[in-house]
Amino acid sequence: MPHQCIECGRTFPDGSKEMLSGCPDCGGNKFQFKPRGTAEPEPDAEPSADPAQPASSAGSEPTAGSEPPPDFDSRSGPETSSPGPAESPDPTGGSDPADRGPEAAESSDAAEPDTTDPVDGDAERIDDGESEDSAQASARSDVVSPDELDRAAREAGTSETGTSEAASESTEPPASQPGVDELRDELNEQFESIRIVSPGQYELNLMELYDRQEYIISLQEDGRYVIEMPDAWGVTDE
Amino acid sequence: MGLLTSLKDSISRVTDGLFAADEPKRIGIYGPPNAGKTTLANRIARDWTGDAVGPESHIPHETRRARRKENVEIERNGRKVTIDIVDTPGVTTKVDYKEFLDHDMDKEDAVRRSREATEGVAEAMHWLREDVDGVIYVLDSTTDPFTQVNTMLIGIIESQDLPALILANKTDLADSDVQQIANAFPQHETIPLSALEGENMDEVYTKIAEYFG
């Protein structure tokens, strides 16, 4: 539930079109962006995925790749086939376990819930919207500050040390690193209109900004933003 | 009854047409940051109305909100052209507060300026989609015009069939290269000028009247 109406608190899934014409409940046009990690009451699935990234010592960048690994692996399978020599023949759902082939048995023993939870999360996302939304979600997830990631990592570390170890092991193979870079490039190309790289640093997708009917009139570093609704201009939908 | 209705319709069509022709065209001044858009907008506004549009600065992203000067009447060859000038924030694909730190700005101010500049770009792109009838595209003739932003914006303007006038600004500087601009966009006429010094403004006004009149 990444978007929350700050007037009435109603939440919307990522990519939801409902909010484009204002909150259906209260008509508010201010929404808060809540990354999945902070919004979900039971952060089982997220911390188990998130700590994997800080542990891989690649900073906050791969977070983009951390959220929808099965989705993206399967999509970019043919492209990433070169870095992973023997593991690519299975481009569909199997590519994720294949990446971790050598340690698959070990990690699945240690972290059975760990392997199932992300799948649940992914399935939920697919229900929410089209495939594009997962890319948007990943791009937006970059907004999560390193502090929040660290906190999530610490929580996960204290509650289930076994799974976090397994997760860090499973992402260790450097063979998958080029794939992550490619994925990141791909996501950078796909990011929505404005990407907050860090406070005060922005990347803008001009075509996206031009194409969208509503426009962002105010940004805040915590991921909040205000958009002006097309209805407010008296313009009907095309 | 039907006759009356159709008569009423045709009268209102004619009057609508008359008003539409009278309404000033809204001309957006677009271009990358620090090309001299506000200097040009001020020059035009001062020459024809006596007022300025907004503050100019050598620090990029001084204009972070679109500013409009309405009913600017330009007289050319006995003909009057009335336009609304919209001075827009410089369009770019990256805004980084660090570039402002060199201009004696503390980090907090630089971050805020950066955020406002980003909002400004969003606004400028929105105006381009919704609210302009023509574009004056201002380029700094001392810099390379072959950039992603210029190519994309000119492409959008062409796809919208908007009349566009390309101005090669800063001809008062020694390293100005107008030909480079003309080569970059051969499908458009390029007019050299120095908005700061007021050089070649006569030709600029003639072209404005020709393109947007």
CA distance A212 to chain B (A): 8
Asked whether the predicted pLDDT for residue A103 surpasses 50, the reply is: no
| A207 touches B: beta carbon within 8 Å | yes
- What is the C-alpha separation between A210 and A207, in angstroms, rounded? 5
Calculate what percentage of chain B has a pLDDT beyond 90: 78
The tokens for A58 are: 């690649």
> Quick check: A198 contacting B, CB < 8 Å?
no
ipTM comes to 0.84
User: Which residues of chain A neighbour B135 with C-beta distances below 8 Å?
Assistant: none
Among the partner residues B110, B122, B123, nearest to A200 by beta-carbon distance: B110
Q: Taking residues B10-32, report their average pLDDT.
A: 71
- Assess B129–A contact: CB distance below 8 Å, yes or no: yes
Model confidence at A68, in pLDDT bands (50, 70, 90)? Answer: very low
- Least confident range of A70-74, A189-193, B79-83: A70-74
Provide the number of CB pairs (under 8 Å) joining chain A to chain B: 70
Choose among B88, B211, B192: nearest CA to B140. Answer: B192
Under 8 Å between Cβ of A18 and A1: no
- Parallel, antiparallel, or unpaired for β B134-140 and B25-30? parallel
Q: Is residue B91 classed as helix, strand or coil in its secondary structure?
A: coil
Nearest to A218 among B98, B119, B152 (CB): B119
Say if residue B110's pLDDT is above 90: yes
The token pair that represents B130 in the structure block: 């919704």
Whether B98 maps to a domain, the answer reads yes
B11 in A contact zone (CB under 8 Å): no
Give the nearest chain B residue to A202 (CA atoms): B95
Residue B65 maps to a domain? yes
Q: Which domain holds residue B62?
A: 24-212
The answer to the question of residue B13 being in a domain is no
Q: Least CB-CB distance to B119: which of A210, A211, A219?
A: A219
Cross-chain residue pair A193–B122, CB shorter than 8 Å: yes
State the DSSP H helix or E strand holding residue B169, giving kind and residue range, or none if neither: strand B164-169
CB contact under 8 A, A215 and B111: no
Query: CA–CA separation, A168 vs B195, rounded Å?
Result: 59
Count of domains for chain B: 1
Pairing of strands B25-30, B79-87: parallel
Q: Is residue B4 in some structural domain?
A: no
Q: pLDDT per residue over A111-170, tens digit each? A: 444 444 444 434 344 444 444 555 555 555 555 566 665 666 565 544 444 333 333 333
Q: What is the CATH number of the domain that holds B108?
A: 3.40.50.300
Domain boundaries, chain A: 1-34+193-238, 45-191
Best residue of A205, A215, A220, A233 to probe chain B, by most B CBs closer than 10 Å: A215
Higher pLDDT, B154 or A75: B154
Please check whether residue B131 is in contact with residue B177, taking contact to mean a CB–CB distance below 8 angstroms. no
Determine the average pLDDT of the residues in B65-92: 92
A194 touching B (Cβ < 8 Å): yes
Q: Give the pLDDT confidence score for residue B31 in this predicted structure.
A: 97
Q: What is the pLDDT of residue B113?
A: 94
Lowest mean pLDDT among A26-35, A224-233, B191-200: A224-233
Judged by CB atoms closer than 8 Å, whether chains meet at A219 and B118 is answered as: yes
Q: For residue B10, is it within any domain?
A: no
- More confidently predicted of A220 and B25: B25
Is A206 in Cβ contact with B152 (below 8 Å)?
Answer: yes
**Span A166-193, mean pLDDT?**
52
Asked if B110 and A218 come within 8 Å (Cβ–Cβ), the reply is: no
Residues of A in contact with B114 (CB under 8 A): 200-202
Asked if the model's pLDDT at residue B77 lies above 90, the reply is: no
Q: Is A200 an interface residue toward B (CB < 8 Å)?
A: yes
User: pLDDT at residue B114 above 60?
Assistant: yes
Using the structure block, give the residue that is written with the tokens 């105006």: B127
Judged by CB atoms closer than 8 Å, whether chains meet at B125 and A221 is answered as no
Residue B7 forms part of a structural domain: no
Is the pLDDT reported for residue A39 higher than 80? no
Residue B96 has pLDDT above 60, yes or no: yes
Residue A23 confidence class, pLDDT cut points 50, 70, 90: confident
Global pTM value: 0.55
Interface mutation target, options B91, B101, B116, B118, chain A, most CBs of A under 10 Å: B118
- For residue B124, give the chain A residue with the closest CA: A210
